[in-house]
Amino acid sequence: MIKSKSITPELRGLTLIIVTGAWLAGILLAYWIPLSSLLLLIVAIVALLCLIFFWSNVQARLFMLITLGLLLGAWRYTVASPPGDAHAISASIGIGTLELRGNVSDEPKLEGKIRVLLVAVNAISKNGGASWQNAHGLVEVEALGSAVEDPYGANYGDNVELRGKLQAPLPNATPDIFASMVFPRISVRGAGGNPVIAALYHLRITLAAVISRSLPQPEAALLTAILLGLRTPALKPLTAAFNNTGTAHLIVPSGFKVTILGGLILAGTSWLHT
């Protein structure tokens, strides 16, 4: 008499991959189907208790890990998604003139004669500044200007107050940007940010100014982009040529440049460890 054996897949070495896949599946599920974050959290706690109770059973443990990953992925998307967050700045798009407070979280970018600021919002006023409520989210702000570092404008780390109308993110905005403002009134309320990063940004601008005084354009803009990763308006006519030839990585910050810089630093300090 031949005994039949049940075949069970060997998944012990793939547990982390399976749970990660369940996490991603949970994010997709919450994207497609609106779910309550509180309900997901409660069910996830129940799944965690069941996981502890059935830990000795291999198959039940794997099933509960998958379930827990699915629920936590959906819960994380629900609490982080702007539509489910009443304090997200995107909830105030299109309701008229507002006042925002926040800080410039990145170095300004130049697009022609426009400075693009990335502002991390922490407060909002809907009544002309009479009262303020907590808010959060990144806002992309367009302002007039032709210099990355403007001594009379907002720069990295500055605490700013904006007055204008919130709009939807710009077409080329990244997913972490919740809204945009075009030519708002900007008031600098004080300095802030990481002083080390601010010093490095300032050093980069100083080096770019030295290069622009030493070479003609567009050679100066090209060297500035390659050496410092800073794109200036004078480089714009050459951008299409770099894109068409597949060499755009030369004029943007990339891992290739970081590797070269690390090699130069290692070679220059080799005497310290020989």
What does the domain layout of the chain look like in residue ranges?
Answer: 13-80, 89-193, 196-266
Tokens linked to 74: 């959906």
Summarize the confidence of residues 59-83 as an average pLDDT.
Answer: 83
pLDDT bracket for residue 254 (50, 70, 90)? low
Work out the end-to-end distance of the chain between its first and last CA atoms, rounded to an integer number of angstroms: 73
Q: What percent of the chain has pLDDT over 70?
A: 88
pLDDT tens profile 213-240: 888 887 787 877 777 777 777 777 777 7
CA neighbor of 173 nearest in space, from 196, 207, 129, 142 = 142
- Phi, psi for residue 196 in degrees, rounded to 5: -70, -45
pLDDT tens profile 80-91: 666 556 678 887
More confident residue, 77 or 193: 77
More confident residue, 153 or 102: 102
pLDDT at 1: 46
> CA torsion 30→35→36→38, rounded to 10°?
-50
CATH classification of 89-193, choosing from 2.40.50, 2.60.40, 3.30.70, 3.40.33? 2.40.50
Residue where the block lists tokens 């009262």: 131
CA neighbor of 68 nearest in space, from 104, 2, 21, 118 = 21
The answer on pLDDT for 246 being more than 80 is no
Tokens linked to 233: 């308006």
Lowest mean pLDDT among 80-94, 168-182, 194-208: 80-94
pLDDT at 11: 52
The answer on pLDDT for 6 being more than 60 is no
pLDDT at 204: 82
pLDDT at 221: 79
Residue where the block lists tokens 């080329």: 172
Helix, strand and coil percent figures for the chain, each rounded to 5 = 50, 20, 30
Q: Describe the crossing of helices 37-53 and 58-80 by its angle, rounded to 10 degrees.
A: 160
99 forms beta bridges with: 125, 163
Summarize the confidence of residues 37-61 as an average pLDDT.
Answer: 87
Whether pTM exceeds 0.85:
no
pLDDT bracket for residue 256 (50, 70, 90)? low
Distance CA 68, CA 45 (A): 8
- Phi, psi for residue 74 in degrees, rounded to 5: -65, -40
Summarize the confidence of residues 56-68 as an average pLDDT.
Answer: 87
CA neighbor of 251 nearest in space, from 236, 266, 270 = 236
pLDDT bracket for residue 10 (50, 70, 90)? low
Give 271's contacts (C-beta < 8 A, 6+ positions apart).
Answer: none
pLDDT bracket for residue 273 (50, 70, 90)? low
